[in-house]
Each structure stands twice: as structure tokens, then as C-alpha cells.
Amino acid sequence: MDKYSGLTAQKRLLKEYKQLLKDSPEGLAAFPTVDHNIFEWTCFIEGPKDTLYENGVYVAKLKFPKDYPLSPPEMTFVPGSILHPNVYKDGRVCISILHQPGDDPNQYESADERWSPVQSVEKILLSVVSMLNEPNLESGANIDACKLYRDYPEEYAKVIKNGIRKSLGMDIIN
């Protein structure tokens, strides 16, 4: 990786950061975690209204490669902070927009569903909000969550609501 690629990525990330500061979608925030490292961001995602995740605030990290936007970032929720069929137990997010560009070797996704340089941090965050609203059980990252969601929806809802209460510190209130 040459120095030029890293500089291009830095310029692009700075531009995206400024745009998010100016006009961030409601319920979403993202910013560099450390002032001197534009390649690691913290994200706050408010659970979408009228979903099981409503009233929750979810923290995730975005790690950008030095060749961004040619390659996608990796997104990881704080491990154990969210139960979702498309979030691995270690917190990694599994959605098409974060998969390497080009044809899917498993022939599940079309190339236009996968990462491309026209994507942005804002589009990633909006895709995650959509994922919270509509899990993709056909491409589950957390099989236990998939089974719970599919076979025991009431129990799944209870786990999500308890997770929200716990994250807000309400689990210590009777």
C-alpha cells in the first residue's frame, strides 16, 4: 500500500465526517474515535422506531482500511450489546454492503449489493438501521439468534427488551 492511497482515504474520510457533522441522519452519529486516527470511528445507532430495538442505543466501531473507499470498513458492535441474526456473537456486522466488492464466491449476493466506492459511512449506518428492522435469516451470522427469532419470536423480543433495559441501567430498578 503506497502513501498516496492512505492520503486519499484520509481525505475521503474527513469529507464524510464533515458531511455527517453538517447533516447526520436522525438517530445516527459517527466520528473518529481518536483525534489522530481517522481510520477508527465510533458510531451510535438509535434503535429504529416501531421495531424491537426502539429505545435502544447501540455502540459500534468502524475500522477503515488504508485503501478506503476501494475496500469496505469492518463494523463491530460492542460485543454482547446486541442480539441480532446478522451480528456475530463477537459483534461483527454481516451485511452485504460491507462485503468485498465484486462477485460473491458463494453466489448468494449480486455484485451491486456488495461494497463499492460510491458507498459511504452514512449509507453503511442506514443499512444497519434497515438490518435491525428486517433481519436476513437466509444469511445469518448468529445461528442461535436466527433460530430464536424464527422459532420463538416472543422470547427473542423479550431478550431484546431486556438488553435495552440493561443498556439503559434499568435492570437494577425493580
E-assigned strands of the chain?
A: 28-34, 37-46, 57-63, 74-77
150-to-9, 55, 57, 72, 112 alpha-carbon distances in Å: 40, 23, 24, 30, 28
**What is the C-alpha to C-alpha distance for residues 40 and 61, in angstroms, rounded to an integer?**
7
Cβ pair 37, 61 in contact under 8 A: no
CB environment 71-110: b (16+ within 10 A), e (fewer) = ebbebbbeeebbbbbbbbeebbbbbbbbbeeeeeeeeebe
Catalytic residue among 9, 93, 94, 132: 94
* Residue 43 bears catalytic tag: no
- Determine the angle formed by the axes of helices 143-151 and 153-167, rounding to 10 degrees: 120
Greatest CA separation found in the chain?
A: 57
Residue positions annotated with a catalytic role: 94
